[in-house]
Amino acid sequence: MKMEKLGFQAEVSRLLDIVAHSLYSDRAVFLRELISNASDACDKLRYLSLTEPGVLGDDPEFKVTVTLDQAKKTLTVSDNGIGMNREDLISHLGTIARSGSAQFVQALEEGKSKDVSLIGQFGVGFYAAFMVADKVTVVSRKAGETLSWQWISDGKGEFEIGEAERAGRGTDVILHIKKDAEEFLEKARVNTIITKYSDHIALPIKLIEGGKEEKVNQAAALWTRSKSDITEEQYRDFYRHVAHAFDEPWGTLHFKAEGKIEYTGLLFIPTVKPFDLFHPDRKQSLKLYVKRVFITDHCEELLPLWLRFVKGLMDSEDLPLNISREMLQHNPVLTKIRQGAVKRVLDYLKKRAENEPDAYAAFWNDFGAVLKEGIYEDAEHKDALIKLARFRSTSGDSLVSLADYIGRMKEGQTAIYYLTGDSLEAAARSPQLEGYRAKGVEVLLLTDPVDEFWVPAVGEYEGKTFRSVTRGGADLDSIKGDAKAEEKKPEPAAAGIDNLVALMKLTLKDAVKDVRVSQRLTDSAVCLVADEGDMDMRLARLLQQHKRIDTLMPRVLEINGSHPVVAALAKAVSSGKGEAVADASWLLLDQARIQEGEVLNDPTAFAKRLGEVLSRAFA
| Contacting positions for Mg ion (CB under 5 A) | 37, 125
**94 in contact with ligand ADP (CB under 6 A):** no
State which residue, 276 or 583, has the beta carbon closest to ligand ADP. 276
Minimum gap (Å) between residue 197 Cβ and Mg ion: 12
How are beta strands 555-559 and 526-529 bridged, if at all?
A: antiparallel
Contact (Cβ atoms closer than 8 angstroms) between residue 435 and residue 520: yes
Q: Is 11 in the site for ligand ADP (CB under 6 A)?
A: no
Nearby residues of 364 by Cβ (< 8 Å), 6 or more positions away: 371, 389, 390, 399
The H or E element containing residue 396 is: strand 396-400
Segment interacting with ligand ADP (CB under 6 A) among 77-85, 266-274, 406-414, 526-534: 77-85
Q: Rounded to an integer, what distance in angstroms lies between the CA atom of residue 285 and that of residue 263?
A: 18
Instruction: Please report how close the Cβ of residue 12 comes to Mg ion at its closest, in angstroms.
Output: 14
Q: Are strands 391-393 and 444-446 parallel, antiparallel or unpaired?
A: antiparallel
Report the nearest approach of ligand ADP to the CB of residue 63 (Å): 13
Inter-CA distances, 247 with 237, 243, 355, Å? 10, 10, 22
Select from 82-90, 393-401, 482-490, 536-544 the region that touches ligand ADP (CB under 6 A). Answer: 82-90
Whether residue 181 contacts residue 27, with contact meaning beta carbons closer than 8 Å, is answered with: yes
Could you tell me the smallest distance in angstroms from the CB atom of residue 40 to ligand ADP? 6
Q: Which is nearer to ligand ADP, 33 or 590 (CB)?
A: 33
The reply to whether 82 sits near ligand ADP by the rule CB under 6 A is yes
**Three-state SS at 418:** strand
Of 38, 66, 333, 569, the one binding ligand ADP by CB under 6 A: 38
CB-wise, 98 or 437, nearer to Mg ion? Answer: 98
Q: Which helix (H) or strand (E) holds 233?
A: helix 232-243
In sequence order, the 6+-apart residues with CB closer than 8 A to the CB of 466 are 415, 416, 418, 455, 456, 458, 459, 460
We find the least distance from the C-beta atom of residue 374 to ligand ADP, in angstroms, to be 28
Beta-carbon contacts of 459 under 8 Å, excluding residues fewer than 6 positions away, are: 465, 466
Tell me: does residue 125 bind ligand ADP (CB under 6 A): yes
373 sits near ligand ADP (criterion: CB under 6 A): no
Instruction: Give the strands of the sheet with 133-141, arranged side by side.
Output: 3-7, 158-164, 148-153, 133-141, 170-177, 74-79, 64-69, 205-209, 212-215
172 lies in the site for ligand ADP, by CB under 6 A: no
Q: Quick one: which of 74, 63, 66, 316 has its CA closest to 177?
A: 74
203 part of the interface to ligand ADP, by CB under 6 A: no
**How far apart are the two ends of the chain, measured CA to CA in Å?**
93
Query: Which CB sits closer to ligand ADP, 125 or 270?
Result: 125
The answer to the question of residue 12 lying near ligand ADP (CB under 6 A) is no
Among the residue ranges 50-58, 79-87, 522-530, 593-601, the one whose residues contact ligand ADP (CB under 6 A) = 79-87
Partner that binds at residue 249, options ligand ADP, Mg ion, none, CB closer than 5 to 8 Å by kind:
none
497 binds, among Mg ion, ligand ADP, none (CB under 5 to 8 A by kind): none
Judged by CB under 6 A, which stretch of 75-83, 158-166, 444-452, 561-569 contacts ligand ADP?
A: 75-83
Contacted by 267, from Mg ion, ligand ADP, none: CB < 5 to 8 Å by type: none
Compare residues 132 and 375 and give the one whose CB is closer to ligand ADP.
Answer: 132
The Cα–Cα gap between 587 and 570 comes to 15
- How long a stretch of residues is the chain? 619
Per rule CB under 6 A, is residue 124 in the interface with ligand ADP? Answer: yes
CA distance 316 to 473: 55
| DSSP structural state of residue 412 | T
Smallest separation, CB 317 to ligand ADP (Å): 28
- Cβ–Cβ under 8 Å, residues 316 and 263: yes
Q: Does 41 bind ligand ADP (CB under 6 A)?
A: yes
Among 18, 28, 84, 427, binds ligand ADP (CB under 6 A): 84
Q: In this complex, which beta carbon is closest to ligand ADP, that of residue 121 or of residue 585?
A: 121
- Among residue numbers 211 through 250, which ones bind ligand ADP (CB under 6 A)? none
Of these, 126, 360, 367, 376, which contacts ligand ADP (CB under 6 A)? 126
Report if residue 274 touches ligand ADP, rule: CB under 6 A. no
Of residues 204, 230, 235, the one with CA closest to residue 217: 204
Residues β-bridged to residue 555 = 512
Should residue 194 be labelled a site residue for ligand ADP when binding is judged by CB under 6 A? no
Q: Rule CB under 6 A: say whether 81 interacts with ligand ADP.
A: yes
Applying CB under 6 A, which residues contact ligand ADP? 33, 37-38, 40-41, 79, 81-84, 92-93, 123-126, 171
